Copies of this chain bind each other. A is one copy, B any other.
Amino acid sequence: MARAATTADVFNAVAERRRREILEYLDSGEATVGDIVDRLDIAQPQVSKHLRVLREVELVRSRSAGRHKLYRLNPEALRPVLEWTARFEQLWNERYDRLDAYLDDLQEEERE
């Protein structure tokens, strides 16, 4: 047996940097394959392939618009990752703070 398919689940799909970058970009709204190609400087075929993987795990959805295809993020599909990760949250915060407080801290750090 080899490594699990990238389409096996969201964890595998998201393990790839490029795909994470694509998702981050789509965070700002619908985008065309060409938009992604230009913005992230990835060859068009690879973008299409990555989008295929992301579509298979439901991380993105698409709709056709003329000869373009608009891709949009489906963040719901990331739930399993958040859920799984969050179960360990209390462990790295000895005072068992709530997660939102933790996230607030992160935002403050980013501000500096």
Enumerate chain A interface residues (CB-CB to B < 8 A).
Answer: 3-4, 6, 11-12, 14-17, 20, 23-24, 27, 73, 75-76, 78-79, 81-89, 91-92, 98-100, 103, 106
Most buried by B among A4, A88, A106: A88
Instruction: Report yes or no: B103 in contact with A79, Cβ–Cβ below 8 A.
Output: no
**Inter-chain contacts of A14 with B (CB < 8 A):** 11, 15
Given A15-B15, A16-B4, A20-B11, verify A86-B103 contact (CB < 8 Å).
Answer: yes
Most buried by B among A6, A81, A85: A85
For the complex, what is the distance from the CA of A84 to the CA of B21, rounded to whole Å? Answer: 11
* Sampled A-B contacts (25; CB under 8 Å): A3-B6, A3-B16, A4-B15, A4-B16, A4-B17, A11-B14, A15-B15, A23-B88, A24-B87, A27-B88, A27-B91, A73-B91, A75-B88, A75-B89, A78-B85, A78-B92, A79-B92, A81-B85, A82-B82, A82-B85, A82-B86, A82-B89, A86-B106, A99-B100, A99-B103
